[in-house]
Amino acid sequence: MTSWSRLSFLALLVLQETVLAEYVRTKKSTIAPVGAEVLTVGVIGDYGWTGWTPSPPHFCLEVLPELKAAGLVIPNEVLNDCDPGDILYITNATALQLDTSSYVGQVCAVKNCTAFVSVGDNFYDSGVDFTTGGIQRFQEAWVGMYSQGVFESAPWYQCLGNHDIVKGQSGVDFQTKVAPIYDPRWNFGTQGLPYWTYDLTGKDWTATFVVVDSDCFLSSYQLNTSVYVNPYTQACYADRQTQIDFLANTFAQSTATWKFLQLHHGYMSSATNETDLAPLVEIVIQHNGVVLNGHDHCLAHYYSNNTNFILSGAAGYPQAGDCNYGIPLGPYAKFLGANPISAANGFVTMDISKQYINVEYYVRDMQFEDGDLYPVPYDLNPSYSFQITEHAT
Ligand SMILES: *[C@@H]1O[C@H](CO)[C@@H](O)[C@H](O)[C@H]1NC(C)=O
Ligand SMILES: *[C@@H]1O[C@H](CO)[C@@H](O)[C@H](O)[C@H]1NC(C)=O
Ligand SMILES: *[C@@H]1O[C@H](CO)[C@@H](O)[C@H](O)[C@H]1NC(C)=O
Ligand SMILES: *[C@@H]1O[C@H](CO)[C@@H](O)[C@H](O)[C@H]1NC(C)=O
Ligand SMILES: *[C@@H]1O[C@H](CO)[C@@H](O)[C@H](O)[C@H]1NC(C)=O
């Protein structure tokens, strides 16, 4: 390319970005109703298994090792699609996502959930990008999966997880720029960025949510052995101060009754405490906020540093080890949706009003033809609940 055509190419890119941002800004998204005395939202995470096709065993087990031995550079996406654990889970995981989506729909029909707050891992194993395959996955694993009953009109407020960023910037672009135009229920702000903010507004209360991409904070994702290292994560890791400042400024400028940090990874966990998230959590502590996260494939309530951490990572494939088989590692673990054999599918609802937030953990009775993976006597009642009454500052 000559320098002139290169320049006009760049100018065109900038123009496209501006036009797109403007288009997304003016396009009508579906949003939660305004002015309710009590608004119920579902918090949901780690769900997007449907339609993922792993590479064939011959490739993963025989060809891949030879390619590595020959010194070929293997794309992260290809490595990730040979993940032996995920290949083992895919059949069950797909069935469990479907069963759990109908369970969430049932609970939400009773509870009148009017929006869903996502904590990421929207598409296993390597996310979606702007290719025909990406479009088909988006249609199958989300648009079609969550389309009946309450899902028909409820907006989702979205967030990225580690599986969403394996394809780098093109994966991020699909979820932040393409998906909101594809389906108005998919909210990801208007700037095409992986971090954004929104308010839910009630009759006499407001809740400010700040979404960040926690993938940008983990030093382990920067290692050259990680499938998550790519130009996107390298750049946003180097620039993580931007997301820290965004959270600090948004919370500082907000006079909301309640303030939430919505992200994928857990600062408090029963598997891995992601301490790299401390700069974000410090801001939440200062503002008396609440943390919503996923990543660990189970449901849990942690309370630490005078702060509530709500884990909702159980809408796909639950994993008992992620909730330490139901055994609390310390007094910070108030509830764990797991037992020595399995973890439960499910999600969390929050009934938000001026006086309190009622947080309920819905745990699915996981019956199948030969038994019950997680027996719950009456699963349309919450298995655990607590209330938040201290307002944000
Ligand atoms: C559900 O909640 C919304 C928001 O509070 C309210 O506008 C709507 O009337 C409720 N619907 C039912 C059936 O209760
Ligand atoms: C898949 O689910 C079946 C029960 O339907 C269970 O017996 C089996 O162990 C599960 N497989 C995996 C890999 O979790
Ligand atoms: C990864 O990093 C290590 C340590 O910095 C280095 O020794 C190694 O050669 C690198 N490997 C690749 C594949 O870049
Ligand atoms: C996470 O931190 C808590 C509190 O400091 C600690 O009790 C727990 O053992 C940690 N969890 C893990 C998996 O290291
Ligand atoms: C939370 O409390 C622990 C123990 O007191 C402390 O080490 C840690 O730095 C605190 N975390 C944050 C984000 O302030």
CA of 92 to the centre of ligand 2 (A): 6
Which residues touch 335 (CB under 8 Å, ≥6 apart)? 299, 300, 301, 361, 384, 386
Given the DSSP bridges, would you call strands 371-372 and 290-293 parallel, antiparallel or unpaired? unpaired
Q: What are phi and psi of 390, to 5 degrees?
A: -80, 120
CA of 298 to the centre of ligand 2 (A): 16
Element (H, E) at 254: none
Q: Where are the beta strands (DSSP E) in 34-106?
A: 39-44
Over range 180-199, report the average pLDDT: 97
pLDDT at 99: 95
| CA of 33, closest atom in ligand 1 | 4
Identify the CA nearest to 54 among candidates 98, 92, 91, 96.
91
pLDDT at 318: 97
Q: Where are the domains of the chain?
A: 40-388
Which residues touch 7 (CB under 8 Å, ≥6 apart)? none
Cα separations in angstroms, 210 against 54, 154, 246, 311, 382 = 34, 19, 8, 16, 27
| CA of 332, closest atom in ligand 4 | 4
Identify the CA nearest to 104 among candidates 75, 72, 146.
146
> Do 25 and 187 touch, CB atoms closer than 8 A?
no
Q: What are phi and psi of 99, to 5 degrees?
A: -60, -40
Q: For residues 87-111, b (16+ Cβ closer than 10 Å) or e, as one string?
A: bebbeebbebbeebbebbbbbbeeb
Tokens of 275: 């301490």
pLDDT at 29: 87
CA of 224 to the centre of ligand 3 (A): 6
Over range 364-383, report the average pLDDT: 93
pLDDT at 28: 78
Rg (CA), the chain: 21
pLDDT at 371: 87
Q: Whose CA is nearest to atom 1 of ligand 2?
A: 92
Cα separations in angstroms, 249 against 151, 210, 224, 239 = 33, 10, 33, 16
The CATH homologous superfamily of the domain defined by 40-388 = Metallo-dependent phosphatases (3.60.21.10)
Q: Whose CA is nearest to atom 10 of ligand 4?
A: 273
CA of 114 to the centre of ligand 1 (A): 8
How many CB atoms neighbour CB 255 within 10 A?
A: 9
- Higher-confidence position of 13 and 358: 358
How would residue 4 be classed by pLDDT, with cut points 50, 70 and 90? very low
| CA of 278, closest atom in ligand 5 | 13
Over range 7-21, report the average pLDDT: 52
Identify the CA nearest to 376 among candidates 333, 342, 327, 350.
342
Evaluate if residue 2 carries a pLDDT over 80.
no
| Cis peptide preceding 125, ω within 30 of 0 | yes
pLDDT single digits (tens) 29-76: 899 999 999 999 999 999 999 999 999 999 999 999 999 999 999 999
